[in-house]
Amino acid sequence: MDIKNNLKQSINYIINPEKTTNEDYGKTDYDYLESKKDYNFKKEKVCYVSTLNCDEIDPYFDMEFTKDYFEKKDGILAYHGYQSFKEGEVTPDIAHEIGVKFVSEMFKDYEVVVATHQNTNHIHNHFIINSVSCKDGKKYNNNRTNLAKLRNISIHYVLNMDSLFWMRTLVIKVPTIIKLLITIIIGH
């Protein structure tokens, strides 16, 4: 979706803590730390917002700076995309990891905000992509070739999401030498 006005409002919509914060994070994961009385790990929360090539605190400022620097303030300001998963198909961690890897490959020369929403029955990622490259000032070309590339990269990460799950699980529990072997086997 093209964003032609109010980029700041679009960014604020996708990073809304009511949609991106996992209130249940850590409620069961920290039982083994119960002996630490000075910190309540069960009240931990995680907010699923990441950025690429821009400041996490104020991505709008960086996007506007890029537009000013390259004198490209007209037309489409940014693009708003999303990536949706079936109910129960992914955890918020995996969905966010897929989203971050996806934008890192697809939009490596652009400023991007990635936000994983959990406020509906299905987890989904939102992306705000600056229309102007922070590397060379070129405007993103939303054409059929890039749409096909977008689809293929997204499908690649979704098809490999079981590997992401197992990799995260195994990395915590096995020695380094075995981790490497598992990476080679699971990573295809």
pLDDT of residue 121: 83
pLDDT of residue 176: 34
Q: Is residue 123 assigned to a domain?
A: yes
**DSSP per-residue string spanning the chain:** -EE-S-HHHHHHHHT-HHHHEETTTTTTTTGGGTT-TTS-GGG--EE-EEEESS-SS-HHHHHHHHHHHTT--SS--EEEEEEE--TTSS-HHHHHHHHHHHHHHHSTTS-EEEEEE-SSSS-EEEEEEESB-TTT-PBP---HHHHHHHHHHHHHHHHTHHHHHHHHHHHHHS-HHHHHHHHHHHT-
pLDDT of residue 139: 95
Q: How many domains are contained in the chain? A: 1
pLDDT at 109 over 80: yes
Percent of the chain with pLDDT over 70: 72
We report the CATH number of the domain holding residue 146 as 3.30.930
The more confident residue out of 142 and 168 is 142
Q: Is residue 170 assigned to a domain?
A: no
Q: Is residue 171 assigned to a domain?
A: no
For the stretch 142-167, pLDDT in tens is 888 988 888 888 878 877 766 555 44
pLDDT at 184 over 90: no
pLDDT of residue 187: 33
Least confident of 51-60, 80-89, 138-147: 80-89
**Which residue range(s) make up the domain with 56?**
2-160
Q: Is residue 172 assigned to a domain?
A: no
pLDDT at 120 over 80: yes
Q: Is residue 25 assigned to a domain?
A: yes
Q: Hey, which of 12-16, 60-64, 118-122, 178-182 has the most confident mean pLDDT?
A: 60-64
Average pLDDT over residues 83-107: 89
